[in-house]
Amino acid sequence: MEINSKIEKAKKGDQIAFTFLLDHYWNEVYGFMLKRTENETIAEDITIETFSKAFDKITSYNSEFKFNTWLIAIAKNVYIDLLRKKKTSLFIEITDNEDQQAYNIADPTPSAEDALIKEQNLSRLLLCIKELKPHYQEVIQLRYFQEMSYQEIAIKINEPLSSVKVKLLRAKKLLAEIIERNR
């Protein structure tokens, strides 16, 4: 019964309920994907994306079905999407010699215009970040401006590693929406 009450709270946007559900079902979804992918990094990425999608669409969850079944279905779809992307992406082999030639041609020093554009873009980005809720601002700031690892962030904000990953993913999605809206 506790799971159902947490799901209902999560549907209302309760962050503590989200964290509970994430912690409760993380190992099941991760283990399921690890068996399929046989790759810890890919399984972890799929699991993070699964929870992100689940939390974005939690209001559409039908309680006639088990919550873990719903999560596994989402995970399968994320995995299928990943396989499709892999199949359609093209890879071009570049030799070391060609790479060095391209490097020698490119001028790595930014022009005055490049520096100004970068400064203006950073200023706009910071304004967009300020529109996020404080807990999302914090993880963005720690990850991208202080360049902390996920583990370091988890220790700093005293939250489980899996929660940090999902929070960062959600923060990036929300930030992308804000940036798009402010164009």
**Tens digits of residue pLDDT in 111-144:** 666 666 666 777 888 888 899 899 899 998 998 8
pLDDT tens per residue, range 83-107: 888 766 555 555 565 555 555 554 5
d(CA 84, CA 78): 10
Concatenated DSSP letters of 42-86:
HHHHHHHHHHHHHHHTGGG--TTS-HHHHHHHHHHHHHHHHHHHH
161 close to 151: Cβ distance less than 8 angstroms: yes
Higher local confidence (pLDDT), 183 or 40: 40
Q: Is the pTM of this model over 0.85?
A: no
Q: Give the list of residues 6+ apart from residue 82 with CB closer than 8 angstroms, or none.
A: 42, 46
